Amino acid sequence: MKKYFLIVFLLSFCLPSIAQKKQSKDSEDQFRAKKEAYITKKAELTSEEAAEFFPLYFEWQDKKTENNRNAWVKGKTGLKPNTTEEEYNEIFNAFFKANEDNCALDREYLEKCKKFLSNKKIYMILKAEILFSRYMLKIAKEKDEEKK
């Protein structure tokens, strides 16, 4: 009986965590699907172009996200009240390094895209990406206003 109770007790803590991770992954997948549909439409990508582009695009974005995440982990040390000047300097350097690494990734992946997309299509994709960010901010603002 004690073993059964222990198993139920442990599962009550584990299952919400697993469900939350699944929900988070589902949300990310939904977001990516929205982004893919939006960019495909705005950049007028063919289904063949989209099929070749988006796996590369999301790989590219994941690498940039990881660079930024690493910089922000370092940046959180600046929240401590006893952060030294040297530590702040290290934080700045981490942000600059992430920026530089992201620029290098942009160049690398743009060159990969040029193998199957025209410069005009790449430009349209980059423009659509910016417009998508504005679109999502507008939706978030509208949802926020509805709550009030």
pLDDT digits (tens, 9 = 90+) for 42-82: 999 999 999 999 999 999 999 999 999 999 999 999 999 99
Q: Pick the residue with more confidence: 33 or 21?
A: 33
**Alpha-carbon span 139 to 63, nearest angstrom:** 26
Has residue 3 got a pLDDT over 50?
no
Query: In this structure, what token pair is assigned to residue 85?
Result: 């000047």
Q: What's residue 23's pLDDT?
A: 54
What DSSP character marks residue 44?
A: T
Give yes or no for residue 35 having a pLDDT over 50.
Answer: yes
* Inter-residue contact 74 to 90 (CB < 8 Å): yes
Residue 147's pLDDT band, with cuts at 50, 70 and 90, is confident
With a cut of 70, say whether residue 105 has pLDDT above it. Answer: yes
Place of tokens 């690498």: 63
Lowest mean pLDDT among 14-28, 89-103, 129-143: 14-28
